[in-house]
Amino acid sequence: MNRASLNILPLQSEIIYGPVPSKRLGVSLGINILPTSYKLCSFSCLYCKYDWTSKPTPHLTYQTDDLPRPAEVSSALEMSLHRLVKHRTKLDCITFSGNGEPTLHPDLAEIIAAAKRVRDQYLPEVKLAILSNSSTVGSAEVRAALEMLDLKVMKLDAGSEEMIRRLNNPMPNFYLGEIVAGLRSLTDIILQSLFVQGRVANTDPDSVERWLEKVREIQPRLVQVYSLDRLPTERKLWRVNLPTLQWIASQVRWRAGIPAEVF
């Protein structure tokens, strides 16, 4: 990997950002419903593009002053879509992502419902999506909110507690069985899995086998296999070569009967 061509990203400074080109989602308008001064996440992944999480946080059950209110998100999205429509800007997706894990916001359902109303008013053909690390899907409340979206892109990088703890550094009360059960309960999800080599590697046959077992159990509609495309927080990680990624995707298609793409 040519590290000179890669950069760790700064945090998003606004609620709305982009549109940005996405390999998986096309032209995507980002929505950050998290703080702008620090990363709020339930993981501290070794490969994160936003640096380390100071303290992994479980699902929030209260409002904090650091988070935007639903009305603020709705207003910011409306202003942005009004401008994009006026300038006839191409847009494929409106995506909840931003500075950490978006499902940690306690008003997620209200925010998604408001975003849908604004989207339907301006660009009803555009998909409403989320990029999530899947850590909160054990919550029925979170799953109900996620089901309002057109595209649920959910993360699963490993099939064992040990590997997830080494690679993703989840919050202390993380339990893989609960996450797999939650993902299985969701409808029509896209499973996104990142593979790395180096100080921690999840590409060996045993790690891939355990991950594949969870993929078969979850039964997503699609699996997206990819590797690093930015400088990771942990410098002793390396990008996985294309033939290895293609081999992993072929295992998904052949042994799980699930479509798989390589990025």
Confidence bin at 60 (pLDDT 50/70/90): confident
CATH class for the region spanning 3-262: alpha beta
Please report, rounded to a whole number, the percentage of residues in the chain having pLDDT higher than 90.
83
User: Residue 58 has what pLDDT?
Assistant: 79
User: Residue 61 has what pLDDT?
Assistant: 58
For residues 159-185, give the mean pLDDT.
95
The string of pLDDT tens digits covering residues 92-114 is: 999 999 999 999 999 999 999 99
- The per-residue pLDDT of the chain, averaged, comes to 93
Residue closest to 252 by CA, chosen among 226, 230, 229, 231: 226
The string of pLDDT tens digits covering residues 62-88 is: 667 889 999 999 999 999 999 999 999
- Pairing state of beta strands 260-262 and 222-226? parallel
Helices 205-218/176-185 angle, 10° precision: 40
Question: What is d(CA 263, CA 260) in angstroms, rounded to the nearest whole number?
Answer: 10
Contact 212, 255 (CB under 8 A): yes
- Structure tokens, 28: 């995507």
User: Residue 5 has what pLDDT?
Assistant: 40
User: Residue 62 has what pLDDT?
Assistant: 62
User: Residue 4 has what pLDDT?
Assistant: 37
The string of pLDDT tens digits covering residues 208-234 is: 999 999 999 999 999 999 999 888 889
Confidence bin at 2 (pLDDT 50/70/90): very low
b/e sequence 46-82, b meaning 16+ C-beta within 10 Å:
bbbbbeebeebbebbeeeeeebbebeebbbbbbebbe
Domain boundaries, the chain: 3-262
- Pairing state of beta strands 16-22 and 26-31? antiparallel
Q: What is the pTM of this model?
A: 0.93
